[in-house]
Amino acid sequence: MIAARINLTIPGTEPYNPTSGDWGVSMKNIRMDGYCPVCGRFRNPKCLHKVPAQRYFVDFNFNGTRIRRGTNLDGDTLRTLDDAVALRQKAFDDIAHERFNPAKWTDKTKPDFSFDALVDKWYSEKQREMTQGKLKPGYVSKLWQYIRLYFHYYHNCDVRSIFTLNDFALWLPDRLSLKYQKNIVDALQSFFIWLQDNRYISELPKFKKIDVPEHMPKTLNFETQMKLIDFIPDDHKPIFLFMVYQGCRPSEARGLLWGSIEDDIVTYKRTFSGERLMDSTKTRRVTPNRLFPETMLILPKRRFALDYVFTHGKKTKRHYSKTFLSELFRKALEAFNKHYNTDLKITLYETIKHSFYTQLYNRSVPLDDLRKWGGHTSVKTTEKYAKLDVVNAFRNVSRIEDVSKVSARQ
The string of pLDDT tens digits covering residues 303-315 is 999 899 999 988 8
Phi/psi zone of residue 274: left (φ > 0), alpha (ψ -120 to 50 degrees), beta? left
Highest mean pLDDT among 27-31, 138-142, 322-326, 335-339: 335-339
- The answer to whether 375 and 287 are in contact (CB under 8 A) is yes
Indicate whether 12 pLDDT > 60: no
- Lowest-pLDDT choice from 85-89, 123-127, 268-272, 366-370: 268-272
Residue 311, CA distances (Å) to 245, 316, 320, 333 in order: 18, 9, 6, 22
Tell the CATH topology of 222-392: hpI Integrase; Chain A (1.10.443)
Q: Residue 281: which pLDDT band, with cuts at 50, 70 and 90?
A: low
Long-range residue pairs from 92-100, CB within 8 A, at least 24 positions apart, any chain:
92/2, 92/6, 92/16, 93/2, 95/5, 95/6, 95/9, 95/10, 95/62, 96/2, 96/5, 96/6, 96/9, 100/9, 100/62
Q: For the chain, which residues make up each domain, given as ranges?
A: 2-105, 115-197, 222-392
pLDDT reported for residue 42: 54
Q: Looking at residues 234-262, what average pLDDT do you find?
A: 92
How far apart are the two ends of the chain, measured CA to CA in Å? 103
Q: Residue 384: which pLDDT band, with cuts at 50, 70 and 90?
A: confident
> What is the Cα–Cα distance from 253 to 324, expressed in whole angstroms?
14
Q: What are phi and psi of 271, to 5 degrees?
A: -155, 160
| 350 or 208, which is more confident | 350
Q: What is the pLDDT of residues 25-49, one digit of tens each?
A: 677 888 877 666 666 555 555 566 6
Q: Looking at residues 3-22, what average pLDDT do you find?
A: 37
- Lowest-pLDDT choice from 173-177, 331-335, 368-372, 374-378: 374-378
Percentage with pLDDT > 70 across the chain:
78
Q: What is the pLDDT of residues 152-194, one digit of tens each?
A: 999 889 998 899 898 999 999 999 988 899 999 999 999 999 9
Indicate whether 11 pLDDT > 70: no
Q: Looking at residues 221-250, what average pLDDT do you find?
A: 94
Q: What is the pLDDT of residues 112-151, one digit of tens each?
A: 788 998 999 999 999 988 888 788 888 888 999 999 999 9
Indicate whether 296 pLDDT > 80: yes
Indicate whether 283 pLDDT > 80: no
pLDDT reported for residue 59: 87
pTM listed for this prediction: 0.56
- The answer to whether 257 and 271 are in contact (CB under 8 A) is no
Q: Residue 69: which pLDDT band, with cuts at 50, 70 and 90?
A: confident
Q: What are the residues facing 392 on neighbouring strands? A: none
pLDDT reported for residue 19: 36
Indicate whether 100 pLDDT > 70: yes
> What is the Cα–Cα distance from 34 to 55, expressed in whole angstroms?
7
| 93 or 64, which is more confident | 93
Q: Are strands 287-290 and 265-268 parallel, antiparallel or unpaired?
A: antiparallel
| 14 or 116, which is more confident | 116
Q: Looking at residues 356-379, what average pLDDT do you find?
A: 85
pLDDT reported for residue 315: 80
- State CA 98 to chain mean position distance: 51
**Residue type at 58 in one-letter notation:** V
Indicate whether 104 pLDDT > 80: no
pLDDT reported for residue 44: 53
Q: Residue 9: which pLDDT band, with cuts at 50, 70 and 90?
A: very low
Indicate whether 23 pLDDT > 90: no
> What is the Cα–Cα distance from 206 to 78, expressed in whole angstroms?
18
